[in-house]
């Protein structure tokens, strides 16, 4: 009896999952128009569907995203930090982990890709999603910088700056493709931090170790 109930629950769960995936990839219809948000909430981020596996020209670049901050101390002085390689931190967090965090694998990478695709090389938005992508990247970067810098500084994060370095992946030995190995750098202007940039439940206040931690 118990086994039958468990089997029925598993079958029901599989059925719901398949239905949600089908609605996600299916053309717009009456159900998705009325319940599209519920479908997206179920699918993203773990079950996202796309065609990148079958892309005719898959990604052939390594992209490193780095950031630094200016810390406003209680005496009014500004302290500029070093560049923090956020991509390296993400890589170290999942290295050797058989079940790596989806957030560590994709949040920063997808956020930066979202920003780059909605801005030109001068940082000017080229579509209606430009402002959204900028705010999204700012919140990701702030959350990572607070975690990395807390315990090393006193003060509040006042401004942040982001840059990236794109390095082409060399072709395999059997390929005659010619690829430049010269890295391409992209450095954004300084962004002033506002209250709306503070991650949910987070803080921009930093305290050195031994002084009570971040508030």
Q: In tens digits, what is the pLDDT along the chain, a chain of 215 residues?
A: 778 888 888 888 888 888 888 888 777 788 878 888 888 778 775 676 666 555 555 567 888 999 999 999 888 889 999 999 999 999 888 888 888 887 778 889 888 988 998 998 888 898 778 888 898 899 999 989 988 988 888 888 999 999 999 888 888 888 787 878 888 899 999 999 887 777 666 677 788 876 544 33
Burial of residue 214 (CB within 10 Å: 0-12, 13-18, 19+) is middle
- State residue 165's pLDDT score: 92
Under DSSP, the state recorded for 69 is: E
Mapping DSSP onto H, E and C, the string for 85-126 reads: EHHHHHHHHHCCCCCCCHHHHHHHHHHHHHHHHCECCCCCEC
Q: Is the pTM of this model over 0.85?
A: no
Report cis status (omega within 30 of 0) of the bond before 45.
yes
- State residue 51's pLDDT score: 62
- State residue 13's pLDDT score: 86
CA 138, CA 196: separation in Å to the nearest integer? 10
């Amino acid at each position: 009896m118990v086994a039958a109930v468990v089997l029925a629950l598993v079958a029901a769960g599989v059925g719901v999952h398949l239905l949600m995936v089908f609605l996600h990839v299916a053309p717009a219809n009456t159900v998705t128009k009325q319940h599209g948000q519920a479908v997206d909430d179920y699918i993203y981020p773990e079950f996202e569907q796309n065609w990148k596996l079958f892309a005719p020209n898959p990604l052939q670049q390594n992209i490193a995203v780095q950031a630094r901050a200016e810390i406003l101390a209680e005496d009014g002085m500004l302290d500029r930090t070093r560049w923090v390689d956020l991509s390296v931190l993400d890589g170290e967090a999942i290295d050797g982990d058989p079940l790596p965090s989806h957030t560590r694998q994709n949040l920063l990478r997808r956020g930066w890709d979202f920003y780059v695709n909605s801005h030109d090389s001068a940082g000017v938005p080229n579509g209606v999603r430009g402002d959204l992508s900028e705010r999204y990247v700012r919140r990701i970067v702030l959350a990572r910088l607070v975690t990395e810098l807390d315990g090393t500084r006193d003060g509040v994060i006042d401004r942040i700056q982001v840059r990236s370095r794109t390095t082409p992946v060399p072709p395999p030995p059997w390929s005659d493709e010619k690829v430049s190995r010269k890295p391409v750098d992209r450095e954004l202007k300084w962004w002033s931090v506002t209250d709306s940039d503070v991650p949910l439940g987070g803080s921009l206040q930093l305290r050195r170790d031994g002084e009570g931690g971040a508030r």
